Each structure stands twice: as C-alpha cells, then as structure tokens.
Amino acid sequence: MAEVVIVENAAAAGALVADEIARLIAADPATVLGLATGSTPLPVYEALRSRLDGVDVSQVRGFALDEYVGIDPSHPESYRSVITREVVEPLGLDPSRIRVPDGRTEGIEHAGADYEAAIAAAGGVALQILGIGTDGHIGFNEPGSSFASSTRVKTLTEQTREDNARFFPSIDEVPMHCITQGLGTILRAKHLVLLAFGAGKAEAVAGAVEGPVTASLPGSAIQLHPHATVVVDEAAAAGLRYADYYRYTFANKPSWQGL
Ligand code: GLP
C-alpha cells in the first residue's frame, strides 16, 4: 500500500516533496520529472525555487500529465501555459526539455502514441507528482479508466468541468475533451507522490488509499504501485481509517529510507 504522510499544512508537504526532488536532481542532473497542474502541486514548485537556486537544472526533463483538447497552446489556461508559468519559468528549466501532451485537434489521433514514445525514449519518469480530483481522478483519468490505459483522449465529466470552471470565464468555455497520460502510463513512473489538501479531498483520498482497487476510483491505482507516497494535510486525511498508524510509521521511519 501507499505510504501516507500526514503533514501540518500544504507548505510542509511542499518542503518534503521538494527536498526529495532536489535530491534526485543532485544525484542525476537529467532527472525526468512527472509534472502535474492544478492548485495542489503549487507548494512543491514554490519550495523547489529556493532548493534549486544555483543548481544546474539545464538537463532536467519533464512530462506533464495532461492537456485540454482543442485549446490553443498559447491560451493562458492551457496546461502548456500553466506549466510554463508555474514550473518552467520560475525554476529556470529548459522549455525544450519539458513536454506537455499536444492537445491540438490536428494530429490528435497520434498525439497519445507520440507522447508515450517520448516518455519511453527519456527512460521513464523518476518521480510523478499527482493531485487528485474530487471524483478520485488522477491526471484526467475519470472514473471507469482502465488501469492499463496509455496516453489518450478522454471526455471530462461534468463534475470536473464544474471544478475547473474557476479558471475560465464560464463553464461553457471549459473544454469537453482532454488528452491525459493513462493510469498504465502513471503506474510506470518509478515513484508516485500524490498530494491532497483540504476537506474536499478527504473522501477521494480515503478511497484511493484504503478503498477497494477499482476503476470507479482511478486514484486507487496507486495501491498497485510498489513505491507510492501520499502526502496530505489533516483535513484531507480525515477519512483515513489507519491515520494513527501512518503517523506512527512516519515518526519511526528510518532516515536512510528517503521519501
Ligand atoms: C485537474 C487536473 C488534475 C488535478 C485535479 C485537481 O483535473 N487534471 O491533474 O489533480 O484537477 O486539481 P486541484 O489540485 O486544483 O484540486
């Protein structure tokens, strides 16, 4: 099962995960990171700024989880723009080494296979950052997604479109389709780090960590991964049955083990 780390707040989670990413980059300057959008990973990127200050990050590579389909890459809410604004520019990464699935409709039929090939050619993702949707989705793998799925086009649920409407002038402008790494793609990363904050995520977190492994809750795929870490605040941990055990385990974690 995933290792659950319950932290005081989002900033503490950001510091913990940023330390691990900085350690990976120090060990391998060409580390391949799996990047996530959404508000949840922002404290990680924020904490990384100071840790990577003065570090040569010119070789670091990155693959975003997902993108909207039919949105111009220059649209401020395309995930290409979000990743550029929130990760690439502040951390000084080389934009040519950071890929986001191509959501343009022209060529969309082979965009998924192209993305899979690019990840494989890079040697796979070392650490994949994940958020989780209120319906338990990871990436944009909505309920019902196959655990064997690869990068492909999906239709967003009404719930996800409503959740993401805050980034657009109106819900009508939230794209209907997306291209997302599949659950199978995500499971191929060496280390999964899923973050969640706030009471609104408590149910999805409990289902992902302790519920049955089911395509109805795509986040539960992490239970199939040999090295998955779930970093949550108290509010997001509220539904976890074994929260005391997770606290006890983390407090007694051997220092040589790393995250
Ligand atoms: C979107 C993204 C997911 C993200 C989710 C939660 O749907 N495609 O990758 O995990 O939103 O977003 P937030 O972190 O803002 O709650």
CATH number at residue 215: 3.40.50.1360
CB distance 132 to ligand 1 below 6 Å:
yes
pLDDT tens by residue, 75-125: 999 999 999 999 999 999 999 999 999 999 999 999 999 999 999 999 999
Judge whether 193 lies within some domain.
yes
Q: Considering the domain boundaries, does residue 217 fall inside one?
A: yes
CB 247 within 8 A of CB 6: yes
**Ligand 1 center to 133 CA (angstroms):** 5
Predicted confidence (pLDDT) per residue in 46-62, tens digit: 999 999 999 999 999 99
What does the pLDDT read at residue 177?
97
Classify residue 180: in a domain, yes or no: yes
- Average pLDDT of the residues in 191-219: 98
Longest dimension (CA), the chain: 53
Q: Is the CB of 133 under 6 A from ligand 1?
A: yes
Domain membership of residue 130 (yes or no) is yes
pLDDT of residue 115: 98
Residue 258 lies in a domain: no
Instruction: Report yes or no on 146 lying in a domain.
Output: yes
Rounded to whole angstroms, how far apart are CA atoms 192 and 183?
Answer: 12
pLDDT tops 90 at residue 256: no
Closest ligand 1 atom to residue 65 Cα is 9
Instruction: Assess if residue 53 is contained within a domain.
Output: yes
pLDDT at 31: 98
Query: Do the beta carbons of residue 5 and residue 248 sit within 8 Å?
Result: no
37 lines ligand 1 (CB under 6 A): yes
Atom of ligand 1 nearest to the CA of 201: 16
Provide the 3-class DSSP secondary structure of residue 194: strand
Does residue 216 register a pLDDT over 80? Answer: yes
pLDDT, tens digit (0-9, with 9 covering 90-100), for 135-190: 999 999 999 999 999 999 999 999 889 989 999 999 999 999 999 999 999 999 99
Number of domains composing the chain: 1
Within a 10 A sphere around the Cβ of 13, how many other Cβ atoms?
Answer: 26
User: Which residue has a Cα nearest atom 10 of ligand 1?
Assistant: 131
**Ligand 1 atom with least separation from CA of 79:** 8
pTM above 0.85, yes or no: yes
CA-CA distance, 13 to 9, in Å (whole number)?
A: 7
Nearest-CA residue for atom 13 of ligand 1: 38
Res. 24: pLDDT tops 90: yes
Nearest to 183 by CA among 225, 144, 149: 149
pLDDT of residue 258 exceeding 90: no
Catalytic positions: 66, 135, 137, 142
Percent of the chain at pLDDT exceeding 90: 96
Of the candidates 240, 230, 184, which has an alpha carbon nearest to the alpha carbon of residue 207?
240
257: in domain: no
The answer on pLDDT for 1 being more than 80 is no
Element (H, E) at 246: helix 243-251
Structure confidence by residue, pLDDT tens digits, 96-106: 999 999 999 99
> What is the pLDDT, as a whole number, of residue 76?
96
| Domain span including residue 126 | 3-252
